[in-house]
Amino acid sequence: MAISAIEDGIRFFNMKRYDIALDHFRSVKTDGLSDKSRMELAYYQGLCYTKLEKYDEALLLLEQVVTSDMLPVRTMQCRLTLAYVYMITRRAKMAEFELNRLLKNGVESVQIYTMLAYVAWAQRNNEKAIELYEKAIAFDSTNLTAINGLGYVLVDSGVDVKRGLELCRKAVQTKPQNAAYLDSLGWAYYKSGDLNEARTALRRALEIAPRHYEITKHMRAVIGEAS
């Protein structure tokens, strides 16, 4: 019964039906499970909570998996998810710790470098953020998250507004309906002194994500400058 519920949960998880998957995982009686199976269950529950943006619950479960050392492959995946949750919940130092542990263990990816770059930017270390975004792009020159991130930091810090604008344009040209990329482009135009293009890009971003705090803040800055 327990194995069947876990298998059903995994099936719904792979279908991106995270709420249904979580119900299956939570129905499992853990008394008869091995320690390894319990950690596997905790892993999937943690992922479901992350997808459902219930981050406190996710952290409790994912931290169990990381500290258990029973599932080495899952441990690596958990560290990346933990770093994401710490990043979203504004615990930059803890996110940085998990990501650096992955690098020390020989795990490299464009996602790790991009997340580390974001964490550096969140701690106002623009120089380090730029260096890490450059590493991410060297790892995968087509990764739009890294391209957009580097463009935004170059613009926002004033290090290279022209190049930053070009990178933000590239991201939007590839994914024109991405609100985050449109926001970066709008901010890049604003920093370049082109208020009309800035308003156009930010208006498009707000149409896609009308309640997004950062986009709204950028639009207010542009409108205030233009008035």
Does one domain contain both 152 and 76? no
DSSP code per residue over 6-21: HHHHHHHHHTT-HHHH
Per-residue confidence (pLDDT) for residue 72, from 0 to 100: 78
Asked whether residue 115 is domain-assigned, the answer is: no
From CA 45, how far away is CA 63, in angstroms rounded?
A: 12
Please tell me whether residues 79 and 146 are part of one structural domain.
Answer: no
The CATH number for 33's domain is 1.25.40.10
Residue 123 lies in a domain: no
Which sign does the torsion angle of CA 58, 64, 69, 70 carry? Answer: negative
When pLDDT is averaged across residues 169-195 and rounded to a whole number, the result is: 97
pLDDT tens digits, residue range 101-146?
999 989 999 999 999 999 999 999 999 999 999 999 999 999 999 9
Residue numbers of the domain that contains 71 = 1-107
What is the model's pLDDT at position 31?
84
pLDDT in the model for residue 73: 77
Q: Is residue 164 part of a domain?
A: yes
The count of other CB atoms within 10 Å of the CB of residue 82 is 25
82 and 25 assigned to the same domain:
yes
pLDDT at 6: 86
Specify the number of domains making up the chain: 2
Confidence tier at 33 by pLDDT (50, 70, 90) = confident
pTM: 0.87
Same domain, 99 and 146: no
Q: Answer whether residue 227 shows pLDDT above 70.
A: no
CB 6, CB 41: distance < 8 Å: yes
